[in-house]
Structure 1
Amino acid sequence: MTSDYILALSGNDIFSGGGLHADLATYTVNQQHGFLALTCMTAITENGFEVFPVDTALYQAQLQSLKKVPFSGIKLGLLPNVEVAEVSLAFVKEHAGIPIVLDPVLVCKETHDVEVSSLRAELLKFFPHVTIITPNLVEAELLSQQTIKTLDDMKAVAKLLHSYGVPNVVIKGGNRLSKTTAIDVFYDGETLKVFESPVLDKNNTGAGCTFASSIASNLVKGLIPLDAVREAKNFVYQAIQASNEYGVVQYANH
């Protein structure tokens, strides 16, 4: 039996909580072999937390190097600029037929409105070519150009994003609608499901990345999208619950 090869197109979190660190750790826990193409680096500078995109030609060379790997799934995280997104989209189109998860990270850094607008337009092009998108509330607002203040708003935006051509949508509400309950909304064109879990007062750095990569792992295992999301939410909850003050998790008993 061959291993499941699963690819992360992700950035480097200098604090090792999110991005590629969360993705590869999640794949390992799921007994899958993770590959990586690095999209960006991060660092604390005199300007604060900054994101430095990988040179586009270098990024393209990374993907070209992986061209012959028989991937069972792909998860896309932070695509720091339009150029990297365009190269990623071309790669995704070459891998039709396998589960592809798009975590449309738009707000992890300070950006100009023009840059966000350009990235939004580029990310929308991915929708017909991916299995599921996993925006948080702010990203869902930016992608839909709607305001989300209530659970009904989340449901409406999930349906709107689905209408843009993506088969499955899950909006991560986190604790923004309720300080005590983490709320996510899933929609696949027929089923509208609200997931709820208690908010944990612990370090949750990398939770969004872990959620998306866990969905990718579950899809590769053969779960349908709704079940993949359900299992991923439970996995993230358990990981946060088992983490220490640094966000380090003991996975031995998973």
Structure 2
Amino acid sequence: MNAEGTSTAGATPATVTTIAGSDSGGGAGIQADLHAFAAHGVHGTSVVTALTAQNTRGVTKAEPAGTAMVAAQLDAVLADFDVRAVKTGMLADLDTLALVAEQARKGRLPNLVVDPVMVTTSGDSLFEGDPKQYLHAFADSPTVITPNVIEAQQLSGTVIRDLADARHAAETIARSGPRAVLVKGGHLGPRSTSDLLYVDGRAFTFAAEHVDTANTHGTGCTLAAAIAANLALGLDLVQAIDHAKRYLTRALKAAAGQRLGSGPGPVLHSVPVHSAPEFATDA
């Protein structure tokens, strides 16, 4: 790894795995994760949990891949690659959730970043089950769980209006098992750019400049994938989130003037990755 947190040219890249659904529109899910991995100079491998028919306007159909296929893909990847970090996204149903969680408990999924994808910003459901099943399934295995405000409310049973509420929700979620909880604050308001990490009794906030853009499709997937990539490159959790947050901000700014599709478009994943810390503060 070089000073910017990316793989050095000519060296064998670190391998990261995404376990998530496919987005036919290319802006979220597996596609966004692989783009983010590539931007960080790591090798991306994938386990497809579901197929979705979607574009920038929403999801029109979703079908789980089935646990047998998910297990086969995961075994194929883990048998051949030295996976340094894993990111989960859409797990579709309780059977897939249970399968992935079991592999995590067995220690097969290092530096695990769990993005509890349950509902899209447009309101489309992507998980068939009780949201709190995530907490029971991943009670003690993730490095970090990364719910957005809507998901954090579902997981904690609390209302989140501001960062103080976000900390309370994160503490509540952490008491159920996950050591570290990152509540993504993009749903707190139209100009909210602060995320809150609660880990080992401490809270950190990550603030960034507001980017005036409608192109926000796949931002949660992209942030979680970038965190996993940075963990694979050897950064600690706070550093990994800080780097990922700055990367996402640049990707949002770079895509602000684009027009891909007629709805909220994707971020520009190919922006450069930089290193100087800017956003993390101990709360």
When the two structures are superposed, what TM-score results if normalisation uses the length of structure 1?
0.90
- Identity rate, percent: 28
SS of match in other structure, 1:242: helix
Change over 3 Å in CA distance of 1:71–1:44 after alignment to 2: closer
Amino acid at match of 1:74: V
| Structure 1 position 67 matched with structure 2 position 81 | no
Q: Which residue number corresponds to residue 234 of structure 2? A: 222
SS of match in other structure, 2:205: strand
Taking the aligned partners of 2:177 and 2:269, their CA distance within structure 1 comes to 39
Taking the aligned partners of 2:195 and 2:50, their CA distance within structure 1 comes to 28
Contact kept? 1:180, 1:198, Cα under 8 Å: no
Taking the aligned partners of 1:132 and 1:98, their CA distance within structure 2 comes to 11
Taking the aligned partners of 2:94 and 2:27, their CA distance within structure 1 comes to 25
| Structure 1 position 195 matched with structure 2 position 209 | no
Q: Which residue number corresponds to residue 142 of structure 1? A: 154
| Structure 1 position 49 matched with structure 2 position 68 | no
| Structure 1 position 88 matched with structure 2 position 100 | yes
Alpha-carbon displacement from aligned partner over 1:17-65 (angstroms, at most 9, x marks no partner): 00011111111111111100100011159x9622211122222221222
Alpha-carbon displacement from aligned partner over 1:157-201 (angstroms, at most 9, x marks no partner): 111111222121110010x32322312111112321122223322
RMSD: 2.3
Aligned length, in residue pairs = 250
Contact kept? 1:135, 1:172, Cα under 8 Å: yes
Taking the aligned partners of 1:112 and 1:132, their CA distance within structure 2 comes to 21
Taking the aligned partners of 2:126 and 2:49, their CA distance within structure 1 comes to 19
Contact kept? 1:11, 1:38, Cα under 8 Å: yes
Change over 3 Å in CA distance of 1:18–1:48 after alignment to 2: closer
Contact kept? 2:23, 2:54, Cα under 8 Å: no
Contact kept? 2:174, 2:181, Cα under 8 Å: yes
Alpha-carbon displacement from aligned partner over 1:84-103 (angstroms, at most 9, x marks no partner): 11111122223358211000
SS of match in other structure, 2:41: coil
Taking the aligned partners of 1:5 and 1:51, their CA distance within structure 2 comes to 28
When the two structures are superposed, what TM-score results if normalisation uses the length of structure 2?
0.81
Taking the aligned partners of 1:184 and 1:145, their CA distance within structure 2 comes to 19
Change over 3 Å in CA distance of 1:42–1:189 after alignment to 2: same
Taking the aligned partners of 2:179 and 2:219, their CA distance within structure 1 comes to 23
Displacement after TM superposition at 1:250 (Å): 6.7
Q: How does 1:1-254 map to 2 (within 5 A)?
A: 1-43=11-53, 49-68=60-79, 69-95=81-107, 98-108=110-120, 110-111=124-125, 115-117=128-130, 119-174=131-186, 176-202=187-213, 203-243=215-255, 244-246=258-260, 247=266, 249=268, 251=270, 253-254=272-273
Moved more, 203-212 or 120-129: 120-129
Taking the aligned partners of 2:97 and 2:177, their CA distance within structure 1 comes to 18
Displacement after TM superposition at 1:10 (Å): 1.0
Amino acid at match of 1:142: Q
Contact kept? 1:37, 1:59, Cα under 8 Å: yes
Amino acid at match of 2:37: Y
Query: Which of structures 1 and 2 has the larger relative contact order (alpha carbons within 8 angstroms, sep 6+)?
Result: 2
Which consecutive residues of structure 1, in runs of 5 or more, have no partner in the other structure?
none
Taking the aligned partners of 2:83 and 2:126, their CA distance within structure 1 comes to 35
Contact kept? 1:133, 1:166, Cα under 8 Å: yes
Change over 3 Å in CA distance of 1:241–1:125 after alignment to 2: same
